Amino acid sequence: MTEANDTLAKLDAAADWVRQRSGRVPVLGIVAGSGLGALAGLVEEATRIPYAQIPHALSPTVIGHAGELVLGKLSGLDVAVLSGRVHGYEGHPTEDVVFNVRLVARLGAKRFLVTNAAGGVDPWLMPGMLCRIVDHLNLTGKNPLTGPNVAALGPRFPDMSKPYAPALGAVLERAAERAGVTLHAGVYAGLTGPSYETPAEIRMLRVLGANLVGMSTVHEVIALNHMGVEVTGLSCVTNHAAGVSSAPLDHAEVAQIADEAGPKLLALVRAFAGLLAEKSN
């Protein structure tokens, strides 16, 4: 297990290294999930840094995940986009999975938008719909804060009563109106994967109060809450979850639907950054 000092030293080494490549202090961090990498293409005056070059950062191995940090401007706001993420199912310790979001928070981002591709647990959730994540169920059996607490990052027992900040969620809702995009809302269940769920597991998730299901996000949101970062979340529904329809689940299809929802998502994120830029001026 990594010592607390180790975690901090690695983060600071990575942050110093990034600062030498771009002096930009991001106000907003954005995680671009499966098939949503086009988000990184929106960034202007961009400095693109492959994760592979950043000291101590891991690179994703999944198709559809680019693996680069993009610093620049979006709708006039200083942003850092994490294009592609590392997942626990790739075999990495949870603490390493959250390294990149912690890095962006260390660079200065006090707010974060996390996006993902998700299965619709409720039958009314159709492929291509966008959903604001209002809360989550961490069903991975893991927590990125396990081990010695890094007190310089946050408290031992962080409050999780507002994991997705209502005020920031309200900005996302307004951005959806402005962009003319329909935005639904739901609770996201994070499971380990990499196998998709069984129909019985999806029925269980429904009973537990989940509307969406995926294999990411929850650990990042815990690590960001620990650091006092305000988070909002956005799921692109890429498929009916197992058993909701009789079709088998396929990663290529998930990536394709995420791709097709791209323009809606981009318009929404652009409007969201624009509203935050207006607020900060």
Instruction: Please tell me the distance from the alpha carbon of residue 31 to that of residue 53, in angstroms, as a whole number.
Output: 18
Q: Which is nearer to ligand HPA, 102 or 184 (CB)?
A: 184
Of 4, 38, 185, 249, the one binding ligand HPA by CB under 6 A: 249
In order of 39, 79, 192, 226, the CA distances from 161 in angstroms are 29, 26, 23, 12
Of 215, 221, 261, 273, the one binding ligand HPA by CB under 6 A: 215
Catalytic residue among 215, 227, 258, 261: 215
Q: How far is the CB of 70 from ligand HPA (least distance, A)?
A: 23
What values do phi and psi take at 234, rounded to 5?
-140, 120
Q: How far is the CB of 213 from ligand HPA (least distance, A)?
A: 5
In order of 14, 16, 90, the CA distances from 256 in angstroms are 33, 37, 21
Tokens at 119, concatenated: 């299965």
Of 239, 259, 269, 270, the one binding ligand HPA by CB under 6 A: 239
Q: Which is nearer to ligand HPA, 197 or 259 (CB)?
A: 197
Tokens at 74, concatenated: 């979006």
Q: How far is the CB of 120 from ligand HPA (least distance, A)?
A: 8
| Residue owning tokens 């000291």 | 55
Size of the site for ligand HPA (CB under 6 A): 13
Is 196 a binding residue for ligand HPA by CB under 6 A? The answer is yes
- Pairing status of strand 111-120 against strand 212-214: antiparallel
Q: How far is the CB of 33 from ligand HPA (least distance, A)?
A: 9
Q: Cis peptide leading into 199, omega within 30 of 0? A: no
Q: Which of residues 58-117 bind ligand HPA (CB under 6 A)?
A: 117
In 10 A of CB 3, how many CB atoms?
11
Of 18, 130, 229, 254, the one binding ligand HPA by CB under 6 A: 254
Tell me the window of 38-46, 220-228, 233-241, 262-270 that interacts with ligand HPA (CB under 6 A). Answer: 233-241
Is 35 a binding residue for ligand HPA by CB under 6 A? The answer is no
Closest among 247, 119, 127, 122 to 193, alpha carbons compared: 119
Residues 6 or more apart from 253 whose CB is under 8 A from it? Answer: 238, 239
Catalytic residue among 87, 136, 184, 226: 87
- On whether the CB atoms of residues 230 and 112 are closer than 8 A, the answer is yes
Q: Which is nearer to ligand HPA, 32 or 275 (CB)?
A: 32
Does 215 qualify as catalytic in the annotation?
A: yes
Residues that bind ligand HPA (CB under 6 A): 117-119, 196-197, 213-215, 238-239, 241, 249, 254
Known catalytic residues are 34, 65, 87, 89-90, 117, 215-216, 239, 251
